[in-house]
Structure 1
Amino acid sequence: MPAPAPPGALDDSPAARRREQRGWYFYDWANSAFYTTVISVFLGPYLIPVAKTAACAQDFPGMAADRCVAGFDQLAIDNPGLGYVDVLGADIRPAAYFGLIMTVAVLLQIVFLPIVGALADHIGRKREMLGGFAYIGALATMGLYFVEGDRYMLGGVLFVVANLAYGSSVVVYDSFLPQISTAAERDTVSSRGWAIGYLGGGLLLALNLVLYLQHESLGLAEGMAVRISMMSAGLWWAVFTIVPLLRLRNRPAPAHESTALRSVGGSFRQLGRTLAELRRYPLTLLFLVAYLVYNDGVQTVIGNSAAFASEALKLDKTVQISAILMVQFVAFFGALLLGRLAVAFGTKRTVLASLVVWTAIVVMAMFVGERQALQFYLMAFAIAIVLGGTQALSRSLFSQVIPKGREAEYFSLLQISDKGSAFIGSLTVTVALQLTNSYRIAIVSMIVFFVVGFVLLALINLPKAIRAAGNEVPERI
Structure 2
Amino acid sequence: MNASKESPFRGLGLNDKKTIRSWAFFDWANSAYNLVITSTIFPAYYTIITSDKNPETIDYVTFFGRKFVNSALYSYSMSFAFLVIAILSPILSSIADTRGNKKVFMQMFTYIGSLACCGLYFFKLETLELGVILCVVAAIGFWGSLVFYNSYLPEIATVDQQDKVSAKGFTYGYIGSIILQIICFVFVFKPDWFGITDDSIPARLSFLMVGIWWMVFAQIPFKNLPKGSPNFRTNKNVFTSGFNELNKVWHQVKQMAYLKRFLFAFFFYSMGVQTVMLVATIFGEKELHLPTEKLIATILILQLVAIPGAMLMSYLSSKKFGNVNVLIGVVIIWIGSCVAAYFIHTEYQFYALAAVIGLIMGGIQSLSRSTYSKFLPQESPDHTSFFSFYDVAEKVALVFGMFIFGFIDEQLGMRNSVIALTVFFILGLLFLLHLKKVEPKTVIVN
Structure 1 residue 380, shift from structure 2 partner: 0.8
Structure 2 equivalent of residue 384 of structure 1: 358
CA positional deviation for 1:315: 1.1
* Counterpart Cα distance in 2 of 1:110 and 1:137: 16
**Residues 1:91 and 2:67 are matched in the alignment:** yes
SS of 2:348's partner is helix
Does residue 70 (structure 1) correspond to residue 88 (structure 2)? The answer is no
Query: Is 1:204 the counterpart of 2:180 in the alignment?
Result: yes
- The residue number in structure 2 matching 1:299 is 274
Call closer, same or farther: CA 1:218–1:338 in 2, change over 3 Å.
same
- Structure 2 counterpart of 1:65: none
Judged with a 3 Å threshold, the aligned counterparts in structure 2 of structure 1 residues 403 and 180 are, in CA distance, closer, same or farther, namely closer
- Is 2:408 the partner of 1:432? yes
1:132 corresponds to: 108
* Contact kept in structure 1, 2:118 and 2:212, CA below 8 Å: yes
CA RMSD of aligned residues (A): 3.1
Q: 2:208 aligns with which of 217, 228, 231?
A: 231
Mapped contact 1:331–1:388 kept (Cα < 8 A)? yes
Cα offset for 1:130? Answer: 2.9
1:450 aligns to 2:433 (yes or no): no
Whether contact under 8 Å (1:29, 1:196) holds in the other structure is yes
Superposed displacement of residue 97, structure 1: 1.3
The equivalent residue for 2:262 is 287
Q: Is the 8 A contact 2:163 2:366 kept in 1?
A: no
2:169 and 2:372 mapped to 1: Cα distance? 21
- Report the structure number with the largest CA radius of gyration: 1
Partner of 1:310: 285
Show CA shifts across 1:76-135 (max 9, x none): 5xxxxxx64343554322231111111111111111111221122222334443333222
Contact map agreement 1:33 1:205 (CA 8 A) in 2: yes
AA aligned opposite 1:40? S
The percent of aligned pairs where both chains have the same amino acid is: 28
The one of 156, 159, 163 equivalent to 2:132 is: 156
CA–CA distance in structure 1, aligned partners of residues 311 and 17 of structure 2: 25
State whether residues 45 and 311 of structure 1, in contact with CA within 8 Å, keep that contact through their aligned partners in structure 2: no
Match of 1:34 in 2: 33
1:331·1:384 contact (CA, 8 Å) conserved in 2? yes
Match of 1:47 in 2: 46
TM-score, length basis structure 1? 0.81
Q: Which runs of 5+ in 2 are unaligned?
A: 1-9
Tell me the alpha carbon deviations over residues 254-275 of structure 1, each in whole angstroms, 9 at most, x when there is no partner: 223356xx13322211211222
Which residue matches 1:354? Answer: 330
Residue 321 (structure 1) aligned with residue 304 (structure 2): no
State the shift of 1:170 in Å. Answer: 2.4
In 2, Cα distance between the equivalents of 1:340 and 1:19? 22
2:249 to 255, 274, 280: 274
- 2:7 aligned partner: none
Partner Cα separation in structure 1 for residue 22 and residue 333 of structure 2: 37
Residue by residue, what CA displacement relative to the aligned partner does 1:34-84 show, whole Å, maximum 9, x if unpaired?
Answer: 1111111122222234344xxxxxxxxxxxxxxxx122x5455xxxxxx64
- Deviation by residue 1:136-195 (Cα, 9 ceiling, x = unmatched): 211110111101132211111001111112222222333445566677876655443332
Question: CA 1:400/1:125 → structure 2, altered by over 3 Å: closer, same or farther?
Answer: closer
**Does the 8 Å CA contact 2:166/2:370 hold for their aligned counterparts?**
no
CA contact (8 A) 2:268 2:397 kept: no
Secondary structure at the counterpart of residue 91 of structure 1: strand
Output the amino acid matched with 2:136.
V
| Distance of aligned partners of 1:472 and 1:184 in 2 relative to their CA distance in 1, 3 Å threshold | closer
Contact 2:31–2:173 (CA<8 Å) still a contact in 1? yes
Moved more, 410-419 or 148-157: 410-419
Q: 2:4 maps to which residue?
A: none
Aligned to 2:24: 25
Instruction: Tell me the distance in 1 between the aligned counterparts of 2:389 and 2:368.
Output: 14
Match for 1:253 among 208, 220, 230? Answer: 230
Change in CA separation of 1:103 and 1:217 when aligned onto 2, cut-off 3 Å:
same
- Residue by residue, what CA displacement relative to the aligned partner does 1:338-373 show, whole Å, maximum 9, x if unpaired? 44555545544433332222122112212222xx33
Aligned counterpart, 2:82: 106
1:85 partner SS = strand
Structure 1 segments unaligned to the other structure (5+ residues): 1-9, 53-68, 77-82
State how far apart, in whole Å, the 2-side matches of 1:101 and 1:128 are: 27
Q: Residue 85 of structure 1 contacts residue 93 of structure 1 at CA under 8 Å; is this kept in 2? A: yes
Structure 2 CA distance, aligned partners of 1:170 and 1:348?
23
Structure 1 stretch displaced more, 232-241 or 411-420: 411-420
Question: 1:186 and 1:390, CA in 2 relative to 1: closer, same or farther beyond 3 A?
Answer: closer
